[in-house]
């Protein structure tokens, strides 16, 4: 029988063997060929923060220009390019992928498995993201940065009004990076449904895993819309079709519908995983389980559904029929209910627990305050007459920065402080962390709160300068000072990270005495995560199951992957989606360059489209197709269904 | 923290008795969800533009001809049947049935693709002419691209079958292909009525 309770993990005798078996090749070859979800996750996080600080620098330049009336720091064209790239970077190259990066790192650890369901696809989605980011940023090299705003409405972004390459960098880049999100989401969904450790039924999943499941489904159903919005616009631009050309029967409003059908779910695609992080951090530092687990999980799923019915509130000023607007206004108000449920669950958790004010907890509490404000202004702009007054003003800029910067970036910073000990094995400095939080929190509010008032005073968004005597000068100066303070706060965390890589205190396995499975393995975890798969019997395995029981491999073919023998075979158990019974084993593929080659082929395709060089595009597709054929050729060995395993496992001394 | 420690249910690691699909099959299933969404949105765009137009098709373009479209649509939908037959066969380890079924399906799919290309060649409008042309060519063309990719997968499956790579319980890539091919057919169940039949209703 495979069932073994209260058995200690396998003896360390097998560990060197295992490490050698799972180790990547050193140096450059390993860098380009790794499929380890932890290395890929870290890579996502590093790359995203590179883009984050770039976007922040752009914001500081913009604030320099707006600090006083009639300034000459930036010209109008450069200003347009910077606000576009700032938005594009924050949405497509920081927030979305950094959440995917955390997911990559944490999900296999939290559900107790050895890697993602499709490790090579995982590497592929990173390479696509990286090459997509380089693609968009290469516009800086040729001095033709996108300048149509991050949501680039037609006809402004049509060939007629934006003839340059600028818009093509943006449109093709969004299609390209969207591929990364889609592929990543497919991987998350299958991983979460098929690789959970035995006993981790759906109602025992950590809330962060729930949030990434909702994230993934939302991405699956919404990303096609933005791919089509920008993709069809590129067809118009490159091949002369007329989807968005009114004179030929096209519609500019169609573009807005398509864009926002993704664009509003996207807000929740970012927000939901951020709340998932909060739902991990708050219970840990309140020293009690999350209040209303089922309510919170239900709220996440509900938000996922409702968010597909609110997109038109971005289009209230476009003259739609009143019935439609009333409907979407109503739905936009209703979506506050599930968000409110989560909010009260967090408060109740803290209320009934013993709160420890560590740095991650400070970021979580800061998030609550900021999200409250952002949520309230969200309710305000959902109301039609109010929206008509403030649309396209700085009030909206204030609102979405409270939501997307405050309610997403703050949890991400909290997550950095919370999970970095696991990722690197070293603690971040609490002193610097708290300093960073307070500087960021104060800077954030000095920056974005006055923007509400500027909106009421009539300052429109996306203007590169303004005249004296409009009464906007003082507040704008304040906003600019605040942005510098906020930037300083983020830089303190960057310094903290760099410093702690060398000088941080060793973290140990479980520095926070947290409840979920990632804390049961070493920090940083070995390449194989778990020599033996943990057996879960609780929502809080590390709190309720001491010592944590680990499985041993059974005799049946389906259960050989559970114990250390599975790790030796580079296998991880596949379990049934609902009741997590073993169904077989998944072979974790070895390192391979193929994901990189396929991504490179796609990059050639997009460069070919950009510069209109058919040869490059066709060569890119050819390269990708050959690599995909190569990639899939061995499928039967890798994915043999359970009733027919290749051969009996090699036996090991597993105690 | 609860006072009593949670205990692992006995038998928690007993293997599942249900028939299970390989993870790759699930991956394809989720990919199909997002692909289906692509077509849903494209068809929504088609009807959005149509609702805003005084005439449809635009610019005096004739409505799609059905004389060939209907029979070849049935050929495409019918191409799922040999796949069902092949799948039932390989489940019992009968590789020969897999080979025949998949090859038959290839012929049916390829003839549909040939019809689509013939039809494109026969049309009196281009995709640059107006928004009707743009949507028609993009949607039908995108579906044809899916048929093309499906045929490519079909060839790989046939090759693997001939090389003796499949047997009972060892046909994951074939299973992934089966699912994809059914999807390609189901999409046409939506695209065909929308683009070919509905313009006839005035």
CB pairs under 8 A between A and B: 211
Angstroms from A580 CA to nearest CA on chain B: 8
Q: How many helices (H) and strands (E) does chain A have?
A: 23, 2
Angstroms from B106 CA to nearest CA on chain A: 18
- Say how many C-beta atoms besides its own lie within 10 A of residue A497's C-beta: 20
User: Could you tell me if residue A612 is left (phi over 0), alpha (psi between -120 and 50 degrees) or otherwise beta?
Assistant: left
**Chain A residue at shortest CA distance from B171:** A636
Contact A245 B30 (CB under 8 A): no
Structure tokens at A374: 């952002």
Query: Would you call B118 an interface residue with chain A, using a CB distance cutoff of 8 Å?
Result: no
Estimate the share of chain A in helix, then strand, then coil, as percent rounded to the nearest 5: 70, 5, 30
Question: Is the backbone peptide bond immediately before A547 cis, with ω within 30 degrees of 0?
Answer: yes
> Are the C-beta atoms of A192 and A210 separated by less than 8 Å?
no
Phi, psi angle pair for A460, to nearest 5°: -75, 155
How many angstroms separate the CA atoms of A99 and A328, rounded? 28
Query: Would you call A117 an interface residue with chain B, using a CB distance cutoff of 8 Å?
Result: yes
| Residues in a beta bridge with B170 | B167
**Chain Cα centroid distance, residue A510:** 24
Q: Which residues, other chains included, contact B21 with Cβ-Cβ below 8 Å and sequence gap of 6+?
A: A641, B175
How many angstroms separate the CA atoms of A49 and A93, rounded? 9
- Res A598: pLDDT: 97
Question: Per residue in A310-326, pLDDT tens?
Answer: 999 999 989 888 899 99
Q: Mean pLDDT over residues A178-186, rounded?
A: 97
Q: Mean pLDDT over residues B32-46, rounded?
A: 97
Q: Which residues, other chains included, contact A477 with Cβ-Cβ below 8 Å and sequence gap of 6+?
A: A67, A68
Q: Which residues of chain A lie closer than 8 angstroms to B132, CB-CB? A: 249
Q: 138-177 in B: which are within 8 Å (CB) of A?
A: 138, 156, 160, 165-173, 176
Question: Per residue in B145-170, pLDDT tens?
Answer: 999 999 999 999 999 999 988 888 78
Contact A118 B27 (CB under 8 A): yes
Cα–Cα distance list, B13 to A7, A200, A536, A582 (Å): 14, 11, 10, 6
Q: 29-48 in B: which are within 8 Å (CB) of A?
A: 30-31, 33-35, 37-38, 41-42, 45, 48
Name the pTM for this structure.
0.94
For helices A207-239 and A166-194, angle between their N-to-C axes, nearest 10 degrees: 150
Does A7 have pLDDT greater than 80? no
Give percent above pLDDT 70 in chain A.
95
Q: Which residues of chain B lie closer than 8 angstroms to A239, CB-CB? A: 127-128
The candidate with the shortest Cα–Cα distance to A382, out of A449, A300, A461, A314, is A314
Angstroms from B197 CA to nearest CA on chain A: 21
Mutation pick from A155, A563, A579, A636 vs chain B, by most beta carbons of B within 10 Å, is A636
> Are the C-beta atoms of A8 and A550 separated by less than 8 Å?
yes
Q: 535-554 in A: which are within 8 Å (CB) of B?
A: 535-538, 540-541, 543-546, 549, 551, 554
Contact A576 B18 (CB under 8 A): yes
Cα–Cα distance list, A585 to A484, A537, A573, B155 (Å): 52, 21, 4, 28
- Res A653: pLDDT: 39
The candidate with the shortest Cα–Cα distance to A515, out of A291, A288, A293, is A288
The candidate with the shortest Cα–Cα distance to A551, out of B19, B14, B18, B5, is B14
**Chain A residue at shortest CA distance from B132:** A249
Angstroms from B92 CA to nearest CA on chain A: 12
How many angstroms separate the CA atoms of A549 and A390, rounded? 57
How many angstroms separate the CA atoms of A216 and B81, rounded? 33
Contact A559 B49 (CB under 8 A): no
Residue A643's pLDDT band, with cuts at 50, 70 and 90, is very low
Q: What is the mean pLDDT of chain B?
A: 93
Mutation pick from B1, B5, B15 vs chain A, by most beta carbons of A within 10 Å, is B15
Question: Per residue in A111-151, pLDDT tens?
Answer: 999 999 999 999 999 999 999 999 999 999 999 999 999 99
How many angstroms separate the CA atoms of A573 and A578, rounded? 15
DSSP codes, A25-60: PSHHHHHHH---HHHHHHHHHHHHHHHHHHHHHHHH
Q: Which residues, other chains included, contact A204 with Cβ-Cβ below 8 Å and sequence gap of 6+?
A: A536, A538, A539
DSSP state of A150: T
- For A249, the closest of B24, B34, B132 (CB atoms) is B132
Q: 149-168 in A: which are within 8 Å (CB) of B?
A: none
Phi, psi angle pair for A153, to nearest 5°: -65, 145
- 3-class DSSP state of A219: helix
ipTM for this model: 0.94
**Chain Cα centroid distance, residue A317:** 30
Contact A193 B138 (CB under 8 A): no
Cα–Cα distance list, A624 to A600, B55, B120 (Å): 8, 42, 27
Q: Which residues of chain A lie closer than 8 angstroms to B48, CB-CB? A: 251, 254, 257
- Res A568: pLDDT: 87
How many angstroms separate the CA atoms of B173 and A344, rounded? 47
Structure tokens at A587: 């072979």
Cα–Cα distance list, A443 to A375, A446, A449, A480, B111 (Å): 20, 5, 10, 10, 65
**Chain A residue at shortest CA distance from B42:** A228
Does A5 have pLDDT greater than 60? no
| Residues in a beta bridge with A587 | A571
Q: Mean pLDDT over residues B21-32, rounded?
A: 94
Angstroms from A20 CA to nearest CA on chain B: 27
How many angstroms separate the CA atoms of A187 and A183, rounded? 6
Contact B14 A3 (CB under 8 A): yes
How many angstroms separate the CA atoms of A35 and A588, rounded? 9
Contact A543 B1 (CB under 8 A): yes
Least reliable range by pLDDT among A4-13, A630-639, B89-98, B192-201:
A4-13
Q: Which residues, other chains included, contact A56 with Cβ-Cβ below 8 Å and sequence gap of 6+?
A: A487, A490
Does A449 have pLDDT greater than 50? yes
Question: Per residue in A195-215, pLDDT tens?
Answer: 999 999 999 999 999 999 999
Q: Mean pLDDT over residues B79-90, rounded?
A: 96
Query: Would you call B59 an interface residue with chain A, using a CB distance cutoff of 8 Å?
Result: yes
Give percent above pLDDT 90 in chain B.
81
Give the number of C-alpha atoms closer than 13 A to the C-alpha of residue A531, restricted to the C-beta side: 21
Contact B13 A2 (CB under 8 A): yes
Q: Mean pLDDT over residues A630-654, rounded?
A: 53
Residue A19's pLDDT band, with cuts at 50, 70 and 90, is confident
How many angstroms separate the CA atoms of B158 and B100, rounded? 9
Contact A576 B20 (CB under 8 A): yes
Contact B23 A190 (CB under 8 A): yes
> Are the C-beta atoms of A228 and A171 separated by less than 8 Å?
no
- Res B6: pLDDT: 81
Following CA atoms A627, A628, A629, A634 in sequence, which dihedral angle do they give, to the nearest 10 degrees? 100
Question: Per residue in A241-273, pLDDT tens?
Answer: 999 999 999 999 999 999 999 999 999 999 999
Structure tokens at A446: 């000095």
């Amino acid at each position: 029988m495979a069932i073994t309770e209260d058995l200690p993990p396998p003896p360390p005798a097998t560990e060197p063997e295992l490490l050698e078996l799972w180790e990547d090749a050193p140096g450059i070859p390993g860098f380009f060929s790794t499929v380890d979800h932890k290395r890929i996750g870290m890579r996502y996080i590093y790359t995203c923060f590179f883009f984050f600080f770039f976007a922040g620098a752009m914001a500081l330049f913009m604030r320099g220009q707006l600090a006083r009336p009639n300034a000459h720091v930036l010209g109008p064209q450069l200003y347009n390019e910077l606000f576009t790239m700032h938005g594009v970077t924050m949405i497509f190259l920081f927030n979305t992928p950094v959440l995917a990066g955390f997911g990559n790192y944490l999900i296999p650890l939290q559900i107790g498995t050895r890697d993602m369901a499709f490790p090579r696809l995982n590497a592929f989605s990173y390479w696509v993201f990286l090459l997509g980011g380089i693609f968009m940023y290469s516009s800086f090299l040729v001095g033709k940065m996108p300048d149509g705003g991050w949501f680039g409405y037609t006809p402004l972004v049509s060939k007629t009004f934006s003839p340059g390459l600028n818009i093509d960098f943006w449109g093709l880049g969004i299609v390209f990076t969207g591929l990364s999100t889609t592929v990543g989401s497919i991987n998350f969904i299958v991983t979460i449904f098929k690789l959970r450790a035995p006993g981790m039924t759906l109602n025992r999943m950590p809330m962060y895993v729930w949030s990434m499941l909702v994230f993934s489904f939302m991405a699956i159903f919404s990303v096609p819309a933005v791919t089509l919005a920008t993709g069809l616009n590129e067809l118009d631009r490159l091949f002369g079709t007329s989807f968005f050309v009114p004179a030929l029967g096209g519609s500019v409003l169609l573009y807005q519908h398509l864009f926002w059908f993704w664009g509003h779910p996207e807000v929740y695609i970012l927000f939901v995983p951020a709340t998932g992080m909060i739902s991990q951090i708050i219970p840990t530092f309140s020293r009690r389980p999350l209040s209303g687990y089922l309510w919170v999980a239900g709220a996440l799923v509900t938000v996922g559904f409702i968010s597909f019915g609110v997109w038109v509130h971005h289009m209230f000023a476009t003259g739609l029929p009143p019935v439609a607007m009333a409907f979407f206004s109503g739905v936009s108000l209703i979506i506050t209910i599930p968000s409110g449920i989560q909010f009260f669950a967090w408060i109740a958790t803290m209320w009934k627990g013993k709160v420890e004010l560590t740095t991650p907890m400070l970021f979580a509490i800061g998030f609550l305050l900021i999200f409250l404000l952002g949520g309230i202004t969200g309710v305000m702009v959902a109301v039609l007459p109010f929206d008509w007054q403030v649309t396209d003003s700085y009030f909206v800029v204030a609102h979405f920065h409270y939501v997307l910067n405050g309610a997403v970036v703050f949890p991400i910073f909290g997550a950095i402080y919370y999970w970095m000990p696991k990722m690197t094995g070293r603690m971040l400095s609490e002193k610097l962390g708290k300093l960073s939080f307070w500087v960021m929190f104060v800077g954030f509010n000095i920056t974005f709160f006055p923007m509400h008032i500027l909106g009421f005073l009539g300052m429109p968004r996306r203007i590169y300068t303004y005249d004296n005597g409009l009464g906007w000068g003082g507040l704008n100066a304040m906003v600019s000072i605040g942005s510098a303070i906020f930037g300083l706060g983020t830089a303190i965390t960057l310094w903290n990270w760099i410093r702690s890589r060398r000088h941080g205190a060793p973290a140990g396995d479980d520095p926070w005495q947290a409840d979920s499975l990632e804390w049961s393995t070493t920090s940083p975890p070995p390449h194989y995560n778990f020599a033996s798969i943990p057996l879960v019997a609780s929502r809080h395995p590390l709190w309720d199951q001491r010592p944590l029981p680990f499985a041993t491999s059974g005799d049946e073919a389906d259960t050989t992957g559970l114990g250390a023998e599975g790790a030796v075979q580079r296998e991880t158990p596949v379990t049934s989606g609902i009741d997590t019974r073993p169904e077989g084993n998944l072979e974790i593929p070895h390192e391979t360059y193929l994901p990189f080659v396929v991504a490179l082929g796609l990059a050639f395709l997009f460069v070919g489209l950009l510069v209109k060089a058919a040869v490059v595009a066709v060569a890119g597709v050819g390269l990708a197709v050959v690599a995909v054929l190569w990639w899939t050729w061995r499928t039967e060995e890798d994915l043999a269904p359970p009733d027919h395993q290749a051969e009996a496992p090699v036996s090991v001394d597993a105690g | 923290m609860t006072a009593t420690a949670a205990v692992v249910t006995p038998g928690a690691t007993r293997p599942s008795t249900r028939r299970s699909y390989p993870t790759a099959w699930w991956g394809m299933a989720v990919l199909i969800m997002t692909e289906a969404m692509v077509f849903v949105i494209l068809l929504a765009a088609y009807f959005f533009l149509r609702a805003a137009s005084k005439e449809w098709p635009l610019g005096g373009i004739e409505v799609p001809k059905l004389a060939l479209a209907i029979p070849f649509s049935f050929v495409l939908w019918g191409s799922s049947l040999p796949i069902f037959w092949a799948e039932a066969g390989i489940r019992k380890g009968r590789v020969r049935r897999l080979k025949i079924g998949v090859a038959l399906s290839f012929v049916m799919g390829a003839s549909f693709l040939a019809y689509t290309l013939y039809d494109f060649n026969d049309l009196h409008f281009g995709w640059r002419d107006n928004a009707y042309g743009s949507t028609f060519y993009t949607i039908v063309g995108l579906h044809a691209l899916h048929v093309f990719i499906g045929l490519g997968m079909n060839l790989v499956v046939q090759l693997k079958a001939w090389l003796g790579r499949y047997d009972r319980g060892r046909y994951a890539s074939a299973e992934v292909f089966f699912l994809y091919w059914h999807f390609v057919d189901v999409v046409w169940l939506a695209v065909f009525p929308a683009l070919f039949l509905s313009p006839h209703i005035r």
